[in-house]
Structure 1
């Protein structure tokens, strides 16, 4: 990957933004923070917290957490007896400096690292709506009506649909019209077959590169969640799913493998949008103990056991997902939005 200086220089070239998007956000955040520390823009002892850094990059905390883990492993930042990390090594206490875009080199000449795409503002709600609607069959999606419904420009609506297309939630038909892909039982089985085959391979390849500090933090979150279940938010549950199935697998160096997995992992979104939204939290926790078993195997460098435990977890989760979708289909019929129309053929 290019260094930070090269990344920023490349942004002025045609197509640079598209190239930049191919680099995972957590690596870009890592490089920016490392460069700011090396040049002294971030002073030694400066306190770094996930929230403020995420705000500067217009991101969630997950990629910031990943970047911090890599920076800690490299010795650029360190833990201390408090919340967050300190820049540099030594024993000095925290310096509470106000982080700014200029301090990190994120000025107007390099807005692409921190400016959130416009489609993100409508994406989460749209994805939930689409997942619920997909349970009830194929629908045609009108891009113009979607833009009007959300109060955005047509390009923003198109960008959101393109993101949904990457996850296999929508597709274009032979006449290049947007259509919502039906979520039936056979599709769920097909997607789980792909995940059961590929995720175990990905976890074995990713395991050597998952920073131990990050892995321990994920394990601690699982233990805390298991102790208080079912008193968890939907977001907390989704964060736990993301830790294993997205963040950990993201350390796999085989990018083609991760691309092949991306559409299949749509099933993670199904549970996120159904549990706690359309349905009650399950009486028995659905996956936390199974995730912990995977992390226990990783803790002792037993890649084969981690892979088999993960494969088993995916296989046994299929009936749960099918059951939740069937319950949704029987008990809840969402109003069809103005931008969607059922396909009857």
Structure 2
């Protein structure tokens, strides 16, 4: 029976503290992060045995999520060495019981029951992914009525999705109070990085006295491992490393208003989930790895002012790399039309 509070009969992970374990900041993890953590825990506990096959459709159906978060979760498991992609469709469990994976706490409990999940949450990841990918090409107007019709949901649900896209900095109010997803032009990307270079160092300083020492130790270990074997880093692992610095660590700053302002200008972190898989060959070693490592080393040494300056410098030089990735993909990217998106002004490289 459908609920009246925006939920549906779709089911996802149990919303218990153990299911929320991957979140360092206390915010609810994204769907693919929760699916990844649960499957990694099941492999560690031997509930998913080595040699067992697992597929995208199977994962999506089990957890009641759409295919994009199921796909992302499996990709992260593969990059962690817990599963491998088969010649056909799907994956096979590679690791034996007792194996651990980055970002998946060993103590996480596997939930035995499921909960009803809000309908907006069921479709959000897919909508976000579709919109962010297309902002490489143009500005887009989001038509709520068509979004609702496309996914077979109510206007209220569509409005919830758009509202959360606004909170993530993906869309904003345009002329005539219309929702617009701005193109990732050099001007817009530059503005995002400029604001982040102002806000994030401030959050870094506040987080430095609040974040657990174990988090910094883990960050340094993972960055060192990545630099030692950069060829083993896939897009999901790069995304996780970005998240550790710019989301998890900064989340300890203790100022929610500051965090909200930061999140509003971090839409490029979302875009990187689309950019990284398509631009891995651009750099022999991903440039942000030594930059992040320099910040972490300074933090662990208690040199906070220098860490602030290092983070600001990292953000300022990241703009040109982001635009280079965008320009490379834009030349060949031709996504199909979607009924809820109206193309407005095209993006330019000027």
Tell me the TM-score normalized by structure 1: 0.66
Is 2:25–2:251's contact at 8 Å kept on the other side of the alignment? Answer: no
**Cα offset, 1:195, TM superposition:** 0.9
CA offsets 1:195-226 (integer angstroms, 9 cap, x no match): 11111111111101111112212222222222
Aligned residue number for residue 188 of structure 2: 187
**Cα offset, 1:149, TM superposition:** 2.4
Aligned residue number for residue 282 of structure 1: 282
Query: What is the correspondence of 1:102-121 to structure 2 with a 5 Å cutoff?
Result: 116-121=117-122
Structure 1's 126 and 82: CA in aligned 2 closer, same or farther, altered over 3 A? closer
Tell me the TM-score normalized by structure 2: 0.65
Aligned residue number for residue 129 of structure 1: 130
Question: Do structure 1's residue 155 and structure 2's residue 156 form an aligned pair?
Answer: yes
Is 1:230–1:283's contact at 8 Å kept on the other side of the alignment? Answer: no
Distance 1:283 1:295 in 2: 22
Query: What is the correspondence of 1:142-291 to structure 2 with a 5 Å cutoff?
Result: 142-276=143-277, 278-284=278-284, 285-291=286-292
Aligned residue number for residue 54 of structure 2: none
CA offsets 1:63-92 (integer angstroms, 9 cap, x no match): xxxxxxxxxxxxxxxxxx9966779xxxxx
Is 1:230–1:281's contact at 8 Å kept on the other side of the alignment? Answer: no
Structure 1's 247 and 344: CA in aligned 2 closer, same or farther, altered over 3 A? closer
Aligned residue number for residue 141 of structure 1: 142
**Cα offset, 1:136, TM superposition:** 2.1
Distance 1:29 1:167 in 2: 13
Is 2:196–2:265's contact at 8 Å kept on the other side of the alignment? Answer: yes
Aligned residue number for residue 322 of structure 2: 321
Distance 1:165 1:85 in 2: 34
Distance 2:343 2:110 in 1: 52
**Cα offset, 1:227, TM superposition:** 2.4
**Cα offset, 1:121, TM superposition:** 2.3
**Cα offset, 1:326, TM superposition:** 1.6
Structure 1's 130 and 297: CA in aligned 2 closer, same or farther, altered over 3 A? same
Is 1:222–1:240's contact at 8 Å kept on the other side of the alignment? Answer: yes
CA offsets 1:79-133 (integer angstroms, 9 cap, x no match): xx9966779xxxxxxxxx97667xxxxxxxxx9xx76433222222222211121
Is 2:205–2:308's contact at 8 Å kept on the other side of the alignment? Answer: yes
Structure number with the bigger relative contact order (C-alpha 8 A, sep ≥ 6) is 2
**Cα offset, 1:321, TM superposition:** 0.4
**Cα offset, 1:244, TM superposition:** 0.4
Query: What is the correspondence of 1:26-105 to structure 2 with a 5 Å cutoff?
Result: 51=41
The RMSD of aligned alpha carbons is 3.5
Structure 1's 328 and 229: CA in aligned 2 closer, same or farther, altered over 3 A? same
Aligned residue number for residue 46 of structure 2: none
Aligned residue number for residue 302 of structure 1: 303
Distance 2:187 2:210 in 1: 35
Return the index of the structure with the highest Cα Rg: 1
Query: Unaligned regions of 5+ residues in structure 1, if any?
Result: 1-23, 31-47, 62-80, 88-96, 102-110
Distance 1:322 1:25 in 2: 30
Query: What is the correspondence of 1:327-342 to structure 2 with a 5 Å cutoff?
Result: 327-342=328-343
